[in-house]
Structure 1
């Protein structure tokens, strides 16, 4: 307000520049997705039209019908859902216990454990691919969804523990003290008192871990043979001949896979914001 009174021209110039920057970033982020949506509603021959003709070409649902008629795609959706939900459930369960211990109790080596967790979370997947593949083959788990569930825990559990530990540290200790005075055990305190308070952080970490597991490609390609998850199925889409690339069906399948994630983010956006910003302000 002071700037608006002192120098109105500079004030409106700054606001114009801000909204212009927001518009540019929005267009930059949304145009690829909108173009993919548009491509999913076009015939294969329309892809070779000029941009203006391509945009105004008649729409068709044929690509979506072909996608849902593809048995491999439907199976891929099921395997992706099974693997992602399983990995997230195990990560939240064990991650909550670990975060409770690291955030509430004092013991020797706690800082070292946190540093190890942080190091594991940033470790590249390709570095552990060979060792994991050997273990999976030795345990006869190749082409088994459980192999993906346990391999995804490598990057979902460290992320879950790190985020939840920071959140647990900021929970007032009076809540636990009141529960202990009432005779609740530490485990009962965790489930009945802390879990409801941790819900925003649980939703945030669970959703982000789910997105990572849902979109993961490298492990799914390496550890699965015929039981492929949906990213691998989409990457292996092929046309009637080796020279035919069904871009319309690929885009339709990508939209079908992406829309549920967008819906989840929109539904839980308040929990995500509160979970990510929890502990940012002390008071």
Structure 2
């Protein structure tokens, strides 16, 4: 009798485990559908023409006319180049200045360190609208209005505090013995940073740099405010100002084609650096 009960209980637990696995699989599939379907629908919409946009066909005939028209437009190609230059320059400056600031805030002891960290955190959470007018006056005062490089100066106000805060948390997790041994060997703070800490900060630099690149690549408000001519606009502004053949036509197909074109480089970067991104985001979670 007891053997029957044990067999029934074992069969019951196996059945419950299968039910949980099936429910988990269904939930995972539902989440994947919820996350990936908007991207799929954007790609499908970018291949539709005219009234076909209002047809809810999941597998339409692919027509890449919108993509051909985009790449024939010299202004759109210029905006992609502008966005690329601005994002790369912003990322490089943010990582360079942020690494120096993070080392000072994470390793050096001085009275104002906590106040500076709180200030960096407060600046990083400011809405863009709050600093827009003041930044506009600074851009005009420096003579950078309607120039591409004015965006690099403007974007540092939210990428630099972010990278400084993240890299400071990362540097704090390094054991002090590394630094103390280097000081005993006569290394300066610059040598410690460049020769000891930087080689170990690869995952953190990649993850924070990629996030800073995405912020600069996708930014719209500053780019719309500080650039006026077509030759100085970035991709988000160029997409936002796409017009139809008439004043009553909304160019949904070209906008989707441009959005897909702009999103592809970010997807490639994330896929290429995915291991370093995960390592950088989880490096400070557990202390060794």
**TM class by shorter-chain length?**
over 0.9
DSSP 3-state at the match of 1:258: helix
1:176 has 2:182 as partner: no
Number of residue pairs the alignment of both structures matches: 278
Structure 2 gap segments, 5+ residues each = 1-8
**Contact 1:4–1:11 (8 Å) recurs in 2:** no
Aligned pairs for 1:67-216 (under 5 A) are 67-216=70-219
Alignment match of 1:234 (pick from 239, 255, 277) = 239
Which runs of 5 or more structure 1 residues have no equivalent in the other structure?
none
* Residue pair 1:44, 1:247 contacting (<8 A) in 2 also: no
Distance (whole Å) between structure 2 residues aligned to residue 84 and residue 56 of structure 1: 35
After superposition, the Cα gap between the structure-2 partners of 1:70 and 1:174, relative to the gap in structure 1 and judged at 3 Å, is same
1:21 aligns with 2:27: yes
The answer to whether the 8 A contact 1:77-1:230 is kept is yes
Indicate the residue corresponding to 2:48 in structure 1: 42
Matched, 1:258 2:263: yes
- Post-superposition Cα deviations, 1:81-122, rounded to whole Å, max 9, x if no partner, equal 111111111111110011101111111021111111111111
C-alpha distance in structure 1 between counterparts of 2:257 and 2:68, whole Å: 9
Deviations along 1:186-231, one digit per CA (max 9) or x if unpaired, are: 1122111111101100001000010011000000001111111000
CA displacement at 1:59 relative to structure 2 = 1.1
* Deviations 1:95-152, CA, capped at 9 Å, x for gaps: 0011101111111021111111111111100001111112212222111122110110
Question: Take 1:69 and 1:282, find their aligned partners in 2: how far apart are those partners?
Answer: 53
Contact 2:82 2:234 in 1 (8 A): yes
Task: Return the alpha-carbon distance in structure 1 between the equivalents of residues 175 and 222 of structure 2.
Answer: 40
CA distance in 2, matches of 1:277, 1:4: 38
| Counterparts of 1:24 and 1:150, CA distance in 2 | 42
What is the match of residue 4 of structure 2? Answer: none
Bigger drift between 192-201 and 132-141 goes to 132-141
Greater Rg over alpha carbons, structure: 2
Q: Distance in 2 between matches of 1:5 and 1:256?
A: 53
Match for residue 275 of structure 1 among 273, 277, 280: 280
1:136-173 per-residue CA deviation (whole Å, 9 max, x = no partner) reads: 12222111122110110111011101100011011122
TM-score if structure 1 supplies the norm length? 0.93
Post-superposition offset of 1:7: 2.4
How has the CA–CA distance of structure 1 residues 278 and 18 changed in structure 2, closer, same or farther, with 3 Å as cutoff?
same
Map of 1:30 onto structure 2: 36
Q: Could you tell me how far apart the structure 2 residues matched to 1:271 and 1:6 are?
A: 43
SS at match of 1:208: helix
What residue in structure 1 maps to residue 5 of structure 2?
A: none
